[in-house]
Amino acid sequence: MTLLQLDGLLFLGAFAAGLIGALTGLGGGAIIVPLLTLGFGVDIRYAIGASLVSVIATSSGAAAAYVKEGYTNLRVGMLLEVATTIGALSGAFVAAYVAPNVIAIIFGVVLLHAAWEGTRRHLDHIVHGAPDHLATVLKLDSTYPTSEGPEAYRVRHVPLGFGLMYVAGVLSGLLGIGSGVVKVLAMDRAMRLPFKVSTTTSNFMIGVTAAASAGLYLHRGYIEPGLALPTMLGVLCGALTGARALPGLKTRKLRLIFSVVVAAIAFEMLYNGFSGKI
């Protein structure tokens, strides 16, 4: 296989990862690492380095479009990013004391439940009941575009969502994985945001977390330009395509895509946990 052919395959695989990552809010990193390690035999440290650069590209590409179109809730994203960052630091600190394979198994079971929940029929959360006091004080309530015009929604259970974001950060620090799954679930289930708002806000948040981690990997020499460049370009193109496709997709279809991807990640986590590979 020539270098050009390899770059082409990397681009196509990364394009698919970016497309799915932009539509589901996972960022694509959860797909890039298995793709590079299992499909191309890349050392996992270099795969994670390329994945982090790609996640930044996904967030930059998709998030910019989502913000412009009015889907992303910037106030929610900036608030929850504080919890995720603190959680990531905590996870990195306790990583030396907790067996990662045990956490991976627990996380895999939780993801399987989340995937099953995603297949069930749910209506998007709109304005019902009294406003949440803390969400009102922080001015988190907003609207998002629909085919019938802007739809108002209210943010619920802010402390619970903040706590779940801390858990997302801890898992990311412990396992070296993206926490987009937990972020989407926390905003969708706990904080009662519409699913499209949850996925787009997750995309906005993921880039901030990945940027800090990418600096560390760059310092350690684990970002290889020849590997990261075609991967990043593929993910960026896929993310922009996903951002354009999102307004025309039904929420039900997005949930099904989310469930399939999350189930695949869950089985991978369980396999690696039980086999001691993580």
Q: How far is CA 66 from CA 62, 203, 269, in A?
A: 6, 9, 30
Tell me if 90 sits within 8 A of 210, measured CB to CB: no
pLDDT band for 274, please (50, 70, 90 cuts): confident
3-state secondary structure at position 273 = helix
Q: What's the pTM?
A: 0.74
Q: Which region among 101-110, 189-198, 199-208 has the lowest average model confidence (pLDDT)?
A: 101-110
**Model confidence pLDDT, tens digit, residues 59-106:** 776 677 788 888 899 999 999 999 988 887 787 677 667 776 777 787
At 278 the pLDDT is 59
Rg (CA), the chain: 18
Region 103-114 average pLDDT:
75
Residue that has been written with the tokens 């990043």 in this structure: 232
pLDDT value of residue 87: 84
What CA–CA distance (Å, rounded) separates 258 from 242? 13
- Give the range of the structural domain holding residue 174, as residue numbers without chain letter: 3-275
CA 213 – CA 220 distance, rounded (Å):
11
pLDDT, position 242 = 81
Contacts of 129 (CB under 8 A, 6+ apart): 154
CA pair distance 125, 187, nearest whole angstrom = 11
pLDDT value of position 178 = 59
DSSP string, 141-162: -EEE--TTS-EEE----HHHHH
d(CA 191, CA 73): 12
Domain count, the chain: 1
Give the pLDDT band of residue 117 (cuts 50, 70, 90).
low
Model confidence at 231: pLDDT above 80: yes
